[in-house]
Structure 1
């Protein structure tokens, strides 16, 4: 078993743009720093703009690689690794986890309405479990997030 726990977030009622900011806010409230690893530069650039303006009364301080500094609480990237010693890693759009050393939590966020994303998440679930990670599965229900497994 490893020190990093892996949480899967199965999106059904809301998309990534609605869910990710709330998860990042909770992460920062814990005093943790976060890396958001996207599978493409285009997605990273979209999230970079979105996190500044997703809500009229708030924004999430962050930076996008390259150019992110060690003091940035949230770093958006397409690269593996954890050079800024973040506690939380968020994988979006099927991004590969890479080495999870140093992370306390890895969150795999996938859209359950897309069959390819669902199949990829199932494969990642098996891989993490076989590698000895503690994994939890969260699904969007009528009352919010429900822990299924």
Structure 2
């Protein structure tokens, strides 16, 4: 399993989710986006609608109709009704949910200490690859 830590500094969470979502869909996989904050999920939904000049990233809400049919599913819990292999924790809160091939923990200054604690808690986990990304002049760079 891979766990990527993405430190938000320049871009809002909805823009970063759209960036990652496009990459996941391009690889032929499905995505679950988790946030306990309904306002944040709404902002992410708008971001997925307006992710680019010619793009719309198809998505739906876990509480909506046919969540299993959604390539990108927005939810308040890490239950992949859409059979997602990738999950984004958009609210900075880690949830221990096995079964995902890749997890993305997005965090900002407000959730920095929580992200550091999560990084440390994953030390020594078998079959786990961790990476840390941050923005450098607007471009995402892997730093660990």
TM-score class, shorter-chain normalisation, is 0.7 to 0.9
Query: In structure 1, how many angstroms separate the alpha carbons of the residues matched to 2:102 and 2:136?
Result: 22
**Which TM-score applies when normalising by structure 2?**
0.88
The answer on 1:19 being equivalent to 2:13 is: no
Match of 1:66 in 2: 63
Match of 1:47 in 2: 44
State which of 121, 124, 142 in structure 1 corresponds to 2:115.
121
The answer on 1:33 being equivalent to 2:30 is: yes
What per-residue deviation string (whole Å, max 9, x for no partner) do you get for residues 62-120 of structure 1? 0012124222100000012223221110001123323222x110000112xx2x31111
What per-residue deviation string (whole Å, max 9, x for no partner) do you get for residues 9-64 of structure 1? 11222221222211110110000100000121221122223321243422110001
Q: Tell me how large the CA RMSD over aligned residues is.
A: 1.7
SS where residue 129 of structure 1 aligns?
A: coil
Alpha-carbon spacing, 1:143–1:95, altered in 2? closer, same or farther (3 Å): closer
Match of 1:78 in 2: 76
Give structure 1 stretches of 5+ with no counterpart. Answer: none
SS where residue 98 of structure 1 aligns?
A: coil
Alpha-carbon spacing, 1:141–1:51, altered in 2? closer, same or farther (3 Å): same
Q: May I ask how many residue pairs the two structures share in their alignment?
A: 142
